């Protein structure tokens, strides 16, 4: 077992899934950054988005289902290219 395969129990949420942070280089001027996660079941969730005030934003999400999740990050209603 490698360190990458090992997830300490303290790093998991109550359901056994590991939350993650994604740092995106993007300076917020005016307007709003929004996010939406499409879960395998078809449900949708909203990640937490934090403006780091250093030209980046952090997107935080804690999965609650097994499977492939799709995340959409938008600025003023338009997809951020490459995100």
Q: Which has the higher per-residue pLDDT, 82 or 83?
A: 82
Q: Kindly report the CA angle at 76 between 74 and 81, in degrees rounded to 5?
A: 40
Number of domains making up the chain: 1
CATH number of 69's domain = 2.60.40.10
The pLDDT tens digits of the residues spanning 15-58 come to 668 888 999 888 777 888 899 999 999 999 999 999 888 988 89
Q: Which of the 8 DSSP states describes residue 22?
A: E
Q: Work out the number of other CB atoms within 10 angstroms of the CB of residue 30.
A: 5
Strands 44-45 and 33-38: antiparallel
Q: Which has the higher per-residue pLDDT, 1 or 51?
A: 51
Place of tokens 């935080």: 60
Place of tokens 């740092």: 23
Expressed as residue numbers, the domain containing 20 is 3-79
pLDDT at 29: 78
Residue 5 in this model has a pLDDT that exceeds 60:
no
Q: Which of 70, 72, 67, 69 is nearest to 83 (CA)?
A: 72
């Amino acid at each position: 077992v490698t360190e990458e395969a090992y997830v300490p129990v303290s790093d998991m949420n109550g359901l056994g899934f590991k939350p993650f942070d994604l740092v995106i280089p993007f300076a917020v001027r005016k307007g709003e950054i929004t996010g939406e996660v499409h879960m395998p079941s078809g449900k949708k969730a909203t990640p937490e988005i934090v403006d780091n005030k250093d030209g980046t934003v952090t997107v935080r999400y804690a999965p609650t289902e097994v499977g492939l999740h799709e995340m959409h990050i938008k600025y003023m209603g338009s997809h951020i290219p490459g995100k």
